[in-house]
A = this chain, B = another copy of it.
Amino acid sequence: MTQGSYKQFCPVAMAAEILCTRWTMVLLREMLAGSTRFNDLRRGVPRMSPALLSQRLKELEQWGVVKRVKGGEGGLYEYHLTTAGQELQPVIEHFGCWGQRWIESKVSLDNLDVQLLMWDMRRSLDLKPMPRKRSTIQFQYTDAPSGQRTWWLVVAPGNDTDLCSLNPGFDIDLYVSSDLKTMTAIWMGMETVRHAVNSGCMKLVGDKQLASNMQTWLGLSPFAKEKRMVA
């Protein structure tokens, strides 16, 4: 919504006034995914300016969708969804499923974003098939903007997974290298690790075990299972 109210009593119109402002649905998706801190939200919505993020959070708070609370430790602020906000989960989910089904994949694969991809991947890793020790996996994107070519995921049982854009200095258990489009396609469920490796688009070097079950420990996008309806 660019300007003003629709002045319509219809609930669809009223909901649209709240939800259809720029970045709002994307922000809510990140909140529903679990981010609560300002800078975590920034990482999940990298192209949104901090000024606008701050403004949107305030608006959503006014609408009763978000609540700003002092976090337990350190007294840092956190943004939580209210009950009304949590009930947006099916709305966002339908949005995403519809997008996955009906928006051409080549359009999706034109909108690559390393930082967002890594941030999303970090969240969905499945630790169960991984070794029960700390593992460090290095991702190298041949075609990413300089300064964003190399990333590290440090996975340790019991801890939150760390995403680093600077070398954390640990021994690397697995080196993954591919172009950004390939990794994104895998994440979106349009491609598989096996096929990407066989076709030479992806290279895995290091721990055999980690390499062979990468498709398993690498969780996919929440929408990856939705069947695509268009080429």
Contacts and interface: CB of A to CB of B under 8 A. Distances in A.
Interface of A: 1-3, 5-16, 18-26, 29, 47, 63-65, 83-84, 87-88, 90-92, 94-103, 107-109, 111-113, 116-117, 120, 184, 188, 221, 223, 226, 229-230
A26 B13 contact: yes
B9 A25 contact: no
A230 B64 contact: yes
Contact of A22 (B1, B96, B103): B1
Contact of A111 (B2, B6, B98): B6
A101 B3 CA distance: 24
A90 B229 CA distance: 17
A99 B8 CA distance: 12
A52 B188 CA distance: 34
Given A16-B25, A26-B13, A87-B101, A8 B107 contact: no
Given A26-B6, A91-B98, A108 B12 contact: no
A95 B1 CA distance: 15
Contacts of A223: 11
B25 A20 contact: yes
Contacts of A188: 9
B111 A14 contact: yes
A92 B95 CA distance: 10
Nearest to A64: B102
Contacts of A26: 6, 8, 10, 12-13, 16
B103 A15 contact: yes
A199 B229 CA distance: 54
25 contacts: A2-B2, A5-B111, A6-B111, A8-B111, A9-B112, A9-B116, A9-B117, A9-B184, A10-B116, A11-B95, A11-B96, A11-B100, A11-B221, A11-B223, A12-B92, A14-B108, A15-B99, A20-B22, A63-B103, A84-B102, A84-B229, A88-B98, A90-B94, A91-B94, A91-B98
